[in-house]
Each structure stands twice: as C-alpha cells, then as structure tokens.
C-alpha cells in the first residue's frame, strides 16, 4: 500500500477505536437506545438522498438493519450504559469474528481449517481472561450484553455475505434507515418518553458533537474510507489494520476517560487480537463459497477471508474485508 493509504487505514482504525470513548461520553447525555437511534438517523440523512436507490434486495437491508442496527448496537450501547468500560468494550466486541466463523460454518457451509479453529480457540481464551478482568472491574450484565452484541454482529455479517451487495456504501446507508424507528420505539417503551424528552431538551454542543462524530465521522467517513481502500487493494492487505481498533480503543479510553488497563486486560488483548487475526485472515474451505466478504458496517466488497471484525461505535463489515469499529 502507498504510504498515504497506509496512513488512511490507520486513521480509520483510530477513528473507530476512539468512537468507544465518544459513545461513553454520549451516554452521559442520552439514554442508550435513544443515542443509537439518533446515530442512525443522522448517518442516514441526508446521505440516503445521494446514494441512489437500494442496489440490494430489501429483505437483506431489513435483516442486516435489525441484526446490526437494532440488536448489535442496541445491546452494545446498553451494555456500556450498564457499566461496561469503553476500552474493554472495544476489545470484547472483537469476539464477533468467532461468532461469524461459527455461523458461516453452519449457514454457509464454510469449513474452518485448522489455523482458523486455532484462532477461534485463542480468541475464546482471550474472552475468558477478559471476563475474569471484567468480573473484578465491571458489572457482569454489561459484559454479557457486549458479548451478545458481538453475537448479533456475527449474524449481520452472515446476512451481508448472503446479500452480496454490489455497492457497499449504498447498502450501508440504506441499512442505516432501518433501525431508526424500532430503536425509537424501544427507547420510548423501555427508557420512557420523559427521559427521552429530557435528554433532547438538554441537548447542547457537547451532545450534538457526540452525535455528529458517531454518525458522520465514525460511520459515514469511516466506512467510505474503508470501502475506498478495499476497492484499491486486496482485502488481505486492508483487513489487518482493523486489528488496531481495540488498541486505539483501550489507549484512548485510558487517556481520555482515565480507565485503568490491568495486566489481565493486556493479556486478554494479546490473545483476542492474535486469535482474531488467525480467524479472520486464514482462508476458509467452503462447500459453496460465494466469494463475498461479510459485513458489519453494512456490507463489504468481495473478500477472500471469512470473518474479520468491524467497529462498534461505527458500523463495520466483517470478513477479511470487514471493518471493525465501535
């Protein structure tokens, strides 16, 4: 890759990693489900008027929108609101690559090779270490919700692989339109109209900046830049940069939020990132390979490897070509 494109890939990873810190700050302004709804609303508008009509079937747009937008991000934001630290969330969410590989084996008949199985085992060991660390420094409920978010991300990855969208950015923008109303309804039901209205009335420049970052910087810019890189270079050259997301997430959380990073958490990071690298970049043996990269952001171009994580504060696409963001 050219140096300028390498710098762009690192910048996207930094944007997605820092997104977890921004989400944590945003949760001081908004209830989690309302914040997630606003994120998708602002990401979809006005972009939806510039990307043209949907180029993928609506069943896939709605399916990914529900699995990724409503389930994955709803659970992630709620888990962080329940006390899951931003840095640890950025790390634990990467276990989505294991869920994606398992679901791909069941649904898409992709047979994981020995290297990928080893990577899954190493990543699970990292989650076990992170669970021990989380048990001493954070609530069990928040940790469980973030793991559940990673599982939902795996579902959306497989759905995106099945959809095989011809235009990743078009697909993602239209996916962003799906979660808005369901998340608003859930927020009104579970968080209450009084709490939602109070948060909207108290909207200030800080809250608006949070929404702008998670919607435009992390989602629109991050995914557009990632898709640009994937159009110019093989997925195997671009995907490894997504491994930097939890590194930036943990580092920025420590610097900005003052989160401590224990020895156990660093060990979990080494195991998880190493396991995800093996799981994501090792080729899969598929009975019926589509040659399509899975996606979380909301779709990614054709890829050769099967499961790599995306952002959490942002939308990402999993698969060798998949982004990982917060």
The three-state secondary structure class of 111 is: strand
Q: Read off φ and ψ for residue 304, nearest 5 degrees.
A: -100, -25
Q: How far from the centroid of its chain's Cα atoms is residue 243's Cα?
A: 12
Euclidean distance between CA atoms 277 and 97, whole angstroms: 9
Of residues 259 and 299, more confidence is placed in: 259
211 token code pair: 């929404």
> What sections of the chain are H helices per DSSP?
3-26, 32-44, 58-64, 73-81, 86-92, 96-107, 114-137, 140-163, 168-177, 180-186, 193-201, 205-212, 222-232, 235-238, 245-252, 263-281
pLDDT in tens, 241-272: 877 888 899 899 999 999 887 788 788 888 88
The answer on pLDDT for 284 being more than 80 is: no
pLDDT of 321 strictly over 80: no
Of 28, 45, 78, 6, the closest CA to residue 256 belongs to: 28
Place of tokens 């994981």: 112
Query: pTM, whole model, 2 decimals?
Result: 0.83
CB atoms within 10 A of CB 50: 9
Model confidence over 10-62: pLDDT tens digits? Answer: 899 999 999 999 999 999 999 999 999 999 999 998 889 998 999 999 999 99
Q: What's the Cα-to-Cα distance from 140 to each of 28, 85, 130, 135, 279, rounded to whole Å?
A: 21, 12, 11, 6, 26
Average model confidence (pLDDT) across the chain: 82
Which tens digits make up the pLDDT trace of 200-243?
999 999 999 999 999 999 988 988 888 788 778 876 677 778 77
């Amino acid at each position: 890759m050219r140096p300028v494109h390498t710098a762009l890939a690192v910048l996207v990873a930094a944007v997605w990693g820092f997104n977890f810190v921004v989400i944590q700050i945003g949760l001081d302004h908004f209830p989690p489900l309302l914040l997630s709804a606003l994120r998708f609303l602002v990401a979809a508008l006005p972009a939806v008027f510039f990307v043209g009509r949907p180029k993928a079937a609506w069943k896939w747009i709605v399916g990914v929108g529900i699995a990724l937008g409503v389930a994955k991000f709803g659970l992630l934001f709620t888990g962080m609101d329940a006390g899951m630290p931003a840095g640890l969330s950025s790390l634990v969410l990467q276990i989505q690559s294991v869920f994606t590989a398992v679901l791909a084996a069941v649904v898409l008949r992709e047979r994981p090779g020995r290297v990928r199985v080893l990577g899954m085992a190493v990543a699970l060991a990292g989650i076990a270490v992170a669970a021990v660390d989380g048990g001493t420094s954070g609530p069990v409920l928040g940790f469980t919700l973030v793991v559940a978010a990673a599982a939902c991300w795996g579902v959306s990855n497989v759905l995106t692989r099945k959809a095989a969208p011809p235009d990743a950015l078009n697909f993602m923008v239209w996916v962003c339109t799906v979660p808005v109303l369901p998340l608003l309804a859930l927020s009104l039901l579970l968080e209450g109209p009084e709490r939602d209205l109070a948060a909207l009335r108290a909207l200030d420049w800080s809250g608006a900046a949070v929404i702008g970052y998670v919607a435009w910087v992390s989602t629109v810019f991050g995914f557009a830049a990632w898709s640009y890189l994937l159009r110019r270079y093989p997925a195997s050259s671009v995907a490894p940069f997504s491994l930097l997301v939890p590194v930036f997430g943990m580092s920025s959380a420590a610097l900005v939020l003052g989160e401590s990073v224990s020895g156990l958490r660093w060990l979990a990071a080494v195991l998880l990132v190493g396991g995800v690298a093996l799981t994501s970049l090792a080729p899969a043996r598929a009975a019926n390979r589509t040659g399509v990269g899975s996606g979380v952001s909301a779709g990614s171009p054709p890829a050769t490897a099967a499961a790599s994580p995306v952002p959490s504060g942002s939308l990402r696409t999993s698969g060798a070509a998949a982004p990982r963001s917060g």
